[in-house]
Structure 1
Amino acid sequence: MEEPSFFRLMRKEFSSLPRNKMLILNACFMVALVFLIGFLYRAGALKSIPLVVADLDQSSTSRIISQGFSESEKFTVTQVSDYPAALEMIKEGKAIAGLVIPEDLSADIKNQKGTELLLIIDGTNYIAANTAYAKASEILQTLNAGIALETLQGKGFLPDEAQATVQRVILEQKILYNPDYNYAYYLSYGVFSAGIFSLAMSAIALTLCRQKRTHHFSLGELGAKIITYGVFASVVTNIIFRLAEMVFKLPARGSLGSFFALTLPYGLLIAVFALMLFSLAREEVRIFQAAVFFATPLFFVTGYTWPFQSIPDLLRPVYYLNPLTPFLNGARACLVMGADWGVLAKYVVWQLGLVTLYLPCAFLFYKSRTHRSAC
């Protein structure tokens, strides 16, 4: 019988996709994952952080400070009588931050002495702690100037004279791409990308495992499967990202064409790693276990959360060889920053380079295990 041509193999693989329950169910699961993550981060930025205030001064000045925090949407303020009570609420998890106003605050200000407020923050949750510190610093900076003006006017300065005396240096901020520090913009695309890689790789590897029960694959069949499943993973990635953008109002500043070009080599990388996983694990249970834990450690070496500049030199090769790195950073550049093709092209070339590197390895792994028992 004549050996089927490569294009005939491709047509056969594409025609079998609608009947592949494993891939279809996996795609549905990934869509469900998107909705779960989207709903989790739908608030975007943290609000209503529990803050406990211990006002030991009980003066008009201290009440101005307490009111400034109460009026902020970032905090939900609870008043307590002393420092131990504030610390106890933080230890019990009832508050994330605490503000202690010293009892001699008003007197020190009137006597033009330096004074300190104590800000206590639960540092176990970095996101909440960082937000609480940044907002508290902003509120106190604003209140500090107002208190200084009020003190000078109390000493007989006219309002204009007091304003001229208190010369504030204002830091004007221009936060690019994410001015509200929206955590959904920051985390969602990275989590989606890592989840898609892990789940799609698992589904493709399990599909190959079940298909191999009937016969071994030729080199042409493997090539056709990698292209077919790679295109499938690329299409699913585009659908998931577009759903997330529409439902959860995530940024989508780049062009559809540029993003699709970015996802094509990403899909091929997923398929190539699925072949390697299938060849090395050989059993369905091991495939699933390996896929679950594959993307998690690599996600932290992509420069997406922990900046590349802070990655130790020893791990820099992992950064460059990581199959997640170019897509995660490219997706952020395209969708959040709105980068044009001139910027995105390097991420596409990077991914194609990784495909070229890992594809022969995948073929070798498969060939070296064809003599072993089927899955």
Structure 2
Amino acid sequence: MHSLQNILRLGMKELYSLRRDAVLLILIGWSFSVGIYAAGTGFSTDLHNAAIAIVDEDRSQLSTRISQAFLKPEFRRPELISFDEIDPGLDTRRYSFILVIPPDFEKDVVRGNRPAIQVNIDATATMQAGIGANHIASILAQEIERYGKEQGQDASLPLSLVTRFAFNPNLSSPWFSSVMEIINNVTMLTVVLTGAAFIREREHGTLEHLMVMPLAPFEIMLAKVWANGLVIILAVSFALWVIVESVLSVPIAGSIPLFLAGVALYLFFASALGILLGTVTHSMPQFGLMFILLILPMMLLSGGETPLESQPVVLQNVMRLVPSTQFVSFAQAILYRGAGIDIVWPHFLMVTVVGLALFALAGLRFRKSIAAIR
């Protein structure tokens, strides 16, 4: 009971110290509010309001239908231009896509020939060019197939291929980017908060004051874990319920309380990692360099930014032992696919076991740093 009281009081001290640190408060507030909103809306892989023009040299019913098939929000209303306007339109970036429909296009389609439509693309916008080319190809194929069926041409296949996009049927990038921003911020800010708290105490001389008190090292560490973990959990709850669900209108498929329970388990690993980095570095610049060398690669290789399956097999096996990979896996399973505890419990167990082991290692390192101070 005496240890619990010490942990509670030390944690309150951490919260009071954080309250006076304006930079960290701004960082936390920005990361779980404006940062989430910016990630969901500022960078999009969707095609939106693309400028398109059509050179219609056929002037047929089919070419007219193709012109009318490009609709908002992916494309602006197509403009009909002459062949001589192609180069000036692309050079001045007035159009991103220009289609050239050749003469007798409709007749060739009716006869069963394979006429070609030229698609000119401004590829300086690389991502939009690639996505737009796929959209245009799909629209052309659909309109030509529909027109052929209306003309009595049997273009049916022995089987019907139906594509269904699970968990994100509209392929909307905010559904992915906003949630992944929260997942990444949990790791980043937990490590930064605990590591910065330890370095701040050493720089201000308060760590020496704690050494002369009847306190055990694990009490100091647990106080930092629960205090900074409480801040992270409250920030994550605000980001999910307010920013993601209310502001961005992104539906959460699974249980947010279950996800928060997983976050609480993961905080032992992330906090221990922050404390460990705080004991091996002596200033915030050194801590920042270690963060870049260790934490950023860990986040990039955890399966959030790139699929784990695309990495070399040896690296996959190593990363599956890292709790950050397990965290990304169960976070996506819960928030995207609505997974329950019966599915994610192995991830919870792995995160807990490795987190406690790293917490013990950080405790040993913390004891050595205390002995050096004494």
1:109 partnered with 2:101: no
Q: Quote how far apart the aligned CAs of 1:37 are.
A: 2.6
What is the letter of the counterpart of residue 338 of structure 1? Answer: G
What SS does structure 1 have at the residue aligned with 2:339?
A: coil
Partner-residue secondary structure (3-state), 1:136: helix
1:39 deviates by 4.2
Q: Where does residue 269 of structure 1 map in the other structure?
A: 269
Q: RMSD between aligned alpha carbons?
A: 3.3
Secondary structure of 2:206 counterpart? coil
What is the CA-CA distance between 1:241 and the residue it aligns to? 2.2
Deviates more, 1:307-316 or 1:209-218: 209-218
Provide structure 2 residue ranges, at least 5 long, that are not aligned to the other structure: none
Answer yes or no: is 1:9 the counterpart of 2:6.
Answer: yes
- Give the aligned residue type for 2:207: H
Please name the residue that 2:168 is paired with. 178
- Give TM-score scaled by structure 2 length: 0.81
How far the C-alpha of 1:289 sits from its partner, in A, is: 4.9
Decide whether the 8 Å contact of 2:15 with 2:227 is kept in 1.
Answer: no
Aligned to 1:62: 63
> Residue 72 and residue 40 in structure 1: after superposition, are their counterparts in 2 closer, same or farther (change >3 A)?
closer
Find the counterpart in structure 2 of residue 157 from structure 1.
none
* Shift in CA distance, 363/233, structure 1 to aligned 2, threshold 3 Å: same
Which is further off, 307-316 or 166-175? 166-175
Amino acid in structure 1 at the alignment position of 2:185: G
Q: CA deviation at 1:192?
A: 1.8
1:99 is paired with a residue of what secondary structure?
strand
**Aligned equivalent of 1:219, options 212, 217, 220:** 217
Is residue 2:45 matched to residue 1:75?
A: no
Q: Show CA shifts across 1:230-260 (max 9, x none).
A: 3432333233222222222222222233112
**Superposition TM-score, scaled by structure 1 size:** 0.80
What per-residue deviation string (whole Å, max 9, x for no partner) do you get for residues 121-170 of structure 1?
566767534542443233112211233246x4xxxxxxxxx26x443665
For residues 177-203 of structure 1, give each alpha carbon's deviation from its aligned partner in whole angstroms, at most 9, with x where no partner exists: 111111111221112211232133223
Q: State the partner residue of 1:27.
A: 28
> 2-side partners of 1:358 and 1:122: how far apart?
51
SS at match of 1:267: helix
Change (3 A) 1:79 1:254: same
User: Would you say the 8 A contact 1:262–1:344 is kept in 2?
Assistant: no
Residues 263 and 54 of structure 1: CA distance in aligned 2, closer, same or farther (over 3 Å): same
Letter in structure 2 aligned against 1:280: V
Alpha-carbon shift at residue 56 of structure 1 (Å):
4.3
Residue 209, structure 1, aligned to residue 199, structure 2: yes
Paired with 2:185 and 2:123, the residues of 1 have a C-alpha distance of 28
Kept after mapping to 1: 8 A contact 2:168/2:175: yes
The AA in structure 2 aligned to 1:214 is: T
Give the AA of the match of 1:237: V
What is the deviation of 1:293?
6.9
Seen in structure 2, the aligned counterparts of structure 1 residues 301 and 89 have a Cα distance that, compared at 3 Å, is: farther
Match of 2:229 in 1: 230
Relative to structure 1, the CA distance from residue 166 to residue 64 in structure 2 (aligned partners, 3 Å threshold; closer, same or farther) is same
Structure 1 pair 281–57 and aligned structure 2 pair: CA distance change class (3 A): farther
Within a 5 Å distance, the mapping from 1:161-310 to structure 2 comes to: 162=152, 165-167=154-156, 170-212=160-202, 213-216=205-208, 218-220=216-218, 221-243=220-242, 244-291=244-291, 295-310=295-310
1:159 aligns to what?
none
Q: Percent identity?
A: 18
How many residues were matched structurally?
Answer: 357
Is the Cα–Cα contact under 8 Å of residues 11 and 223 in structure 2 kept in the other structure?
no
Indicate if the aligned counterparts of 1:6 and 1:224 stay in contact, CA closer than 8 A.
no
2:305, 2:126 → 1: CA distance? Answer: 13
Q: Which one is further off, 332-341 or 296-305?
A: 296-305
Gaps of 5+ in 1: 153-161
